Amino acid sequence: MRVGAVSTPRVDMSNLQIKWQKLDSYNGAKTKTAGQLLILKSVKKLIQITSDEKSSTAIHKELRSLLALQTNRKRNATKAELAEQRLSQMKRKPWMQAKLNN
């Protein structure tokens, strides 16, 4: 028996659900969730795991699009928060408000 070798069973993709918020008990001391570990896998590694090139490519593409969507949401939230901070700073300076109204 090889140490560290992982056997991954084939999974019906329609039943695949990833618990993004909970830590995988297999991780032990690691702090990454199963979804985070899946995102880190390359297409080549996914093909090795699933033995199916088309589904692995589709999974990787979908994960990348979800990651890009999350990144955009975080970026927009940060921009909105910074805009709110700038507005609150301007409200503390009445001379700045008078300048903007003229």
More confident residue, 54 or 24: 54
Amino acid identity of 68?
A
Helices then strands, counting H and E runs in the chain, come out as 4, 0
Distance of CA 70 to the CA centre of its chain: 6
C-beta atoms surrounding 46 within 10 Å: 19
Distances (CA, A) of 98 to 13, 36, 82, 84, 95: 61, 50, 22, 19, 5
pLDDT, residue 87, reads: 86
pLDDT tens, position by position, 58-81: 889 988 998 899 999 999 999 999
Detail the DSSP E strand segments found in 18-66: none
pLDDT, residue 42, reads: 92
- Nearest-angstrom CA–CA distance, 6 and 15: 21
More confident residue, 25 or 44: 44
